[in-house]
Amino acid sequence: MKMNILVCDDDKEIVEAIEIYLKNEGFNVLSAFNGREALDMMSSTSVHLVIMDIMMPVMDGVRATLKIREKYNIPVIMLSAKSEDTDKILGLNMGADDYVTKPFNPLELLARVKSQLRRYTSLGSQVRVEGVFQSGGLTVNDCRKEVTVDGEAVKLTPVEYKILRLLTENAGRVFSIEQIYEQVWNEQPFSPANTVAVHIRHIREKIEINTKEPKYLKVVWGIGYKVEAF
Amino acid sequence: MKMNILVCDDDKEIVEAIEIYLKNEGFNVLSAFNGREALDMMSSTSVHLVIMDIMMPVMDGVRATLKIREKYNIPVIMLSAKSEDTDKILGLNMGADDYVTKPFNPLELLARVKSQLRRYTSLGSQVRVEGVFQSGGLTVNDCRKEVTVDGEAVKLTPVEYKILRLLTENAGRVFSIEQIYEQVWNEQPFSPANTVAVHIRHIREKIEINTKEPKYLKVVWGIGYKVEAF
DNA sequence: ACCCCACCTTAAGAAAGCCTTAAGGATTCG
DNA sequence: CGAATCCTTAAGGCTTTCTTAAGGTGGGGT
């Protein structure tokens, strides 16, 4: 499996230099020039490791790392011109997995990248992000059959779970009641009753703060339901 | 849960210095003065992280790290007087998770220890010591075919043991009755009888304080069973 | 502003799944 | 070969979940 690495630094030369070394080792490289760009990129692509400079305009590396940690569970290597011990310690305590100071030997960075990825993937199928769907603060972990909202676990019944899983797995896409029924119940003869609506209501009671104005599970008038894609 | 950290260095002063800082942060510290001692120690105790010096008599740090990697899946931080880039790269490629050069700031080492443990435990809280699985106060030692609850040994029958081992090894993951049946009995033709349910009941009688409200072996309605991941 | 239709809400009966118990058959071990 | 342990089966009770139906709410076209 090809690994996607996101390099985030406002210095284009450094980004390109790192890019060359990483690509040479068979990694896919994505680049961003500030923290916001990095986060945007991560929301649309699956990234396996981030190399993040600390000093950047728009959103600095520390804040970006904190944001990344909230949503994703991937290694972050911090890059910085500051070689002060206190900065290193701060960076590591912020949630970085490693800290490299400029100027650095590209081969050392490469070795550290591999080291992080080795651990990440060696922990096996169990950890694979496969089977985990999320949208905003909502996550659906399929192997644990567990749903969390802002980190808080929520207990759903089997049917409720299946519906929410379908919608979260395809966040943003709208499903008609008929489609939901067929997917979840595996049957064609669609029952005309409002069964699905009742389940939707129950799910909302469990995952939404305000049932009247749902943040995640939204209705699309005349068409069906969807989970908002963040 | 208290973390056990093994510090391995032939320089007693360094070991003691590190020990003070680690203990101050609430870690248990074990010490060894060469690679062989470290390996012996790990075979009898559950160790969560190793800090390993490279230059040592009897068995050097690189060979010891390789040996550790063969059997255990825990983070290793290498320690060395060599600050050459090539040594760092070599160490990291050998399987070390991090590389710190002497002299070092103890606080930086501490931050790196925490960083490694954070990642390690956030990935599912499963401490993998060859053949020993645990979740909360529940431990399944596969070498000894022994199960303990809060240190108290529990006697299970073979089938009960296999079921609990499967669930504890994959703590947090939900298994359907069919999956349990296939895994434990190695057969496809799934018996429709409630055999599994009865075994579950028996296991609960042995490991749970209150059978009505199980702490470890939980049911996930409409889906199956799991051992809670702590 | 009105009305229709789509969606929402509620509660209660029906269905499904889990738990418990006990007894007979299989297996192991002395 | 006999006894003890372990496994399986089956039936009934219990809890949770699903479905249905009836009535309420509110968007949006006319």
Residue burial A186-224, b: 16+ Cβ < 10 Å; e: rest = eeeebeeeebbeebbeebbebbbeeeeebbbbeeeeeeb
Look at residue B129 in the predicted model and tell me its pLDDT.
46
Minimal Cβ distance to B88: which of A111, A116, A123? A111
Q: Is residue B71 part of a domain?
A: yes
Q: Tokens 């923290």 correspond to what residue?
A: A35
Among residues A102, A122, A142, the one where a domain terminates is A122
Q: Which nucleotide is closest to A211, CA to C1'?
A: C8
Instruction: Name, in order, each residue with C-beta under 8 angstroms of B90's C-beta and a sequence gap of 6 or more.
Output: B62
Q: Which of A48, A77, A92 to mutate to test the interface with B (most CBs of B within 10 A)?
A: A92
The tens digit of pLDDT for each residue in A154-182 reads 999 999 999 999 899 888 888 888 888 98
Q: Tell me, what CATH number does B29's domain have?
A: 3.40.50.2300
- Subunit contact B92:A112, Cβ cutoff 8 A: yes
Token code pair at residue B36 = 């062989």
The answer for residues whose C-beta is within 8 angstroms of residue A207's C-beta and 6 or more apart is A138, A147, A149, A154, A164, A216, A217
Looking at the fold, whether B94 and B181 belong to one and the same domain comes out as: no
Establish if A58 touches chain B: CB-CB under 8 angstroms: no
Pair (A14, A42) in one structural domain: yes
Average pLDDT over residues B157-178: 88
Integer Cα distance of B168 and B134 in angstroms: 6
Nucleotides of D under 7 A from a protein CB: 5-11, 16-23, 27-28
Interchain pair B93, A108: CB under 8 A = no
B127 in a structural domain = no
The DSSP result for B175-216, as a single string, is B-HHHHHHHHH--SS---SSHHHHHHHHHHHHH-S-TTS-SS
- Residue B103 belongs to what domain range? 4-122
Last residue of a domain, one of A104, A122, A140: A122
Tell me: the pLDDT tens digits for B83-98? 677 777 877 877 788 8
Whether residue A143 is found in the same domain as residue A61: no
- pLDDT tens digit at each of 230 positions of chain A: 567 899 999 888 888 888 888 888 888 888 888 888 888 777 666 788 999 988 777 667 788 888 777 667 778 898 888 667 777 787 787 778 888 888 888 888 988 998 888 766 543 322 334 567 888 889 898 888 999 898 788 999 999 999 999 899 888 888 888 888 988 988 766 667 789 999 999 999 999 999 888 999 999 888 889 998 87
At residue A205, the pLDDT reads 94
CA angle B77, A104, A38 (to 5 degrees): 90
The percentage of chain B sitting over the pLDDT mark of 90, rounded to a whole number, equals 16
| Last-in-domain residue among A99, A122, A145 | A122
- Pair B136, B113 in one domain: no
**Whether residue B90 is found in the same domain as residue B148:** no
User: Do A175 and A167 contact (CB within 8 A), yes or no?
Assistant: yes
Quote the DSSP letter at residue B47: -
Which residues of B fall within a CB distance of 8 Å from A146? 172
Could you tell me the pLDDT band of residue B184, with boundaries at 50, 70 and 90? confident
- The reply to whether ipTM tops 0.85 is no
Q: Is pLDDT above 60 for B76?
A: yes
Q: Are B11 and B101 in the same domain?
A: yes
Count of the separate structural domains present in chain A: 2
- A147: β partners: A140, A154
Do residues B107 and B162 both lie within one domain? no
Give the burial class of B69: count Cβ atoms within 10 A of its Cβ; 0-12 exposed, 13-18 middle, 19 or more buried: middle
Instruction: Say if residue B125's pLDDT is above 50.
Output: no
Please tell me whether residue B99 adopts helix, strand or coil conformation: strand
Q: Is the domain of A174 the same as that of A108?
A: no
| Neighboring chain B residues of A123 at a CB cutoff of 8 Å | 73, 123-124
Q: Report if residue A145 sits inside a domain.
A: yes
Residue B113 lies in a domain: yes
**B14 and B99 together in one domain:** yes
- Number of residues that make up chain A: 230
> What pLDDT sits at residue A198?
93
